[in-house]
Amino acid sequence: MTTQVGGFFGCKKFGSGFQKPCCFFTWFDPPLMPRSQIVLLGLLKKVRTLEN
């Protein structure tokens, strides 16, 4: 069984506080909305322009 906290998924028994700890742990990023992708790509383009 897993629990989600923010962008993390992990077994409830994750860590060393259990006799038989579970080692399952992963990060989850939900997909970006189309408008967010456009804004992000525009910002990256501006940063690259300024760096050159």
> Per-residue pLDDT tens for 1-52?
445 456 777 777 766 666 777 777 788 778 889 999 999 999 999 999 999 8
HSE on the CB side for 23, CA within 13 Å?
0
pTM over 0.75: no
Cα–Cα distance for residue pair 7/5, rounded to 1 Å:
6
The residues, any chain, with a CB within 8 Å of residue 41's CB and separated by 6 or more, are none
User: How far apart, in Å, are the Cα atoms of 8 and each of 2, 21, 25, 44?
Assistant: 10, 17, 7, 26
The structural domains of the chain, with segments of one domain joined by +, span 2-51
